[in-house]
């Protein structure tokens, strides 16, 4: 999961970033509103942590601009302004949650889990991501399928997670490069093809019926091949008790 943190207090920014990375999140951080708006419009984040008082462009203006640009990424406003009216204003502007400073890191984690929870996809603990016949554990970097489990590298894991979050949808090459390698990376385009190849082998290893299809000129799509799922032996009829 990739998180954007916009916080102008450098010590707090570094502390939150360090703690989030320890939990296995990928974090891009910035210190002013203009950068936050630029990064936020890249459509590569799973959640945005947005300080309300930012230099250049304050957090509420960033939030308003993101929503006007049809950015639906969950946003948690983080601020020292904690009156009821402040909270109502922030939520009415389009924030998904409102966290008042100072706060415990465990509460921030809980709120991140809450705003990114997708019914039927994430478990209540948000440690596992399930899609058709596979389960992905971000904590263990482990992909489990009908034939067992295999451990993925960090980069493979980020790419697999991006695909599993949006099955059946075509993801552009640009979006995957930004989401997995980050907006400031100078990664070569061919690296994405190499990692897609690695993931296809991983899916075969666990004998999943999921397939990563190439959409020429656009990107990739994760699809489920129902004919390849749960094969039965020829000549074996299902029991009346099945």
Write down the pLDDT at residue 224: 86
Q: Computed over its alpha carbons, how large is the radius of gyration of the chain?
A: 20
Query: Which position has the token pair 């058709």?
Result: 132
Name beta bridge partners: 29.
5
Greater confidence, 139 or 238? Answer: 139
Which range among 35-44, 130-139, 191-200 has the greatest average pLDDT?
A: 191-200
Summarize the confidence of residues 44-66 as an average pLDDT: 90
Can you tell me the distance from the alpha carbon of 198 to that of 192, in angstroms, rounded to the nearest whole number? 10
Can you tell me the distance from the alpha carbon of 35 to that of 28, in angstroms, rounded to the nearest whole number? 11
List domains and CATH numbers for the chain: 2-116 (3.40.50.2300), 128-228 (1.10.10.10)
Integer angstrom CA distances of residue 96 from 30, 47, 50, 155: 20, 10, 11, 29
Greater confidence, 17 or 189? Answer: 17
Give pLDDT tens digits for 71-127: 888 999 998 887 888 888 888 888 999 999 888 999 999 999 888 875 433 333 456
Length of the chain: 242
At 181, is the pLDDT very low, low, confident or very high (cuts 50, 70, 90)? confident
Write down the pLDDT at residue 44: 83
Nearest CA-CA partner of 31 in 11, 15, 8, 51: 8
In the structure encoding, which two tokens stand for residue 107, read together? 């509460």
Query: Sign (positive/negative) of CA torsion 127, 130, 133, 134?
Result: negative
pLDDT at 50 over 90: yes
The SS3 assignment for 73 reads: coil
Write down the pLDDT at residue 165: 83
Residue 121 burial (CB count, 10 A)? 14
At 204, is the pLDDT very low, low, confident or very high (cuts 50, 70, 90)? very high
CA 68 to chain centre: 22
The SS3 assignment for 115 reads: helix
> Cβ distance 6 to 33 under 8 Å?
yes
Query: What beta strand segments (E) does the chain contain?
Result: 2-6, 26-30, 47-51, 75-79, 97-100, 128-131, 134-137, 142-145, 148-151, 170-172, 210-215, 219-224
Write down the pLDDT at residue 211: 93
pLDDT at 12 over 90: yes
Summarize the confidence of residues 213-223 as an average pLDDT: 92
Write down the pLDDT at residue 121: 38
Which letter does DSSP use for residue 96 in this model?
Answer: S
At 229, is the pLDDT very low, low, confident or very high (cuts 50, 70, 90)? low
Which letter does DSSP use for residue 70 in this model?
Answer: T
Summarize the confidence of residues 155-166 as an average pLDDT: 88
pLDDT at 234 over 50: no
The SS3 assignment for 84 reads: helix
Greater confidence, 125 or 188? Answer: 188
């Amino acid at each position: 999961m990739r998180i954007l943190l916009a916080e102008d207090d450098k010590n707090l920014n570094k502390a939150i970033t360090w703690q989030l990375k320890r939990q296995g999140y990928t974090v891009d951080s910035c210190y002013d509103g203009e950068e936050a708006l630029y990064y936020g419009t890249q459509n590569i984040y799973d959640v945005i942590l947005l300080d309300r008082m930012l230099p250049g462009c304050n957090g509420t203006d960033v939030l308003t601009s993101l929503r006007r640009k049809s950015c639906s990424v969950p946003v948690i406003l983080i601020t020292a302004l904690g009156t009821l009216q402040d909270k109502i204003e922030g939520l009415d502007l389009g924030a998904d949650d409102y966290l008042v400073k100072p706060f415990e890191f465990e509460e921030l984690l809980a709120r991140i889990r809450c705003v990114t929870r997708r019914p039927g996809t994430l478990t209540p603990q948000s440690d596992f991501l399930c899609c058709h016949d596979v389960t992905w554990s971000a904590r263990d970097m482990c992909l489990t399928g009908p034939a067992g489990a295999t451990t993925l590298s960090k980069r493979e894991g980020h790419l697999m997670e991006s695909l599993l979050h949006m099955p059946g949808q075509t993801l552009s090459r640009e979006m995957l490069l930004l989401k997995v390698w980050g907006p400031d990376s100078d990664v070569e385009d061919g690296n994405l093809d190499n990692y897609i190849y690695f993931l296809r082998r991983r899916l075969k290893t666990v004998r999943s019926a999921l397939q990563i299809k190439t959409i020429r000129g656009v990107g990739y799509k994760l699809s489920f091949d129902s004919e390849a799922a749960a094969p039965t032996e020829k000549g074996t009829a299902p029991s009346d008790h099945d």
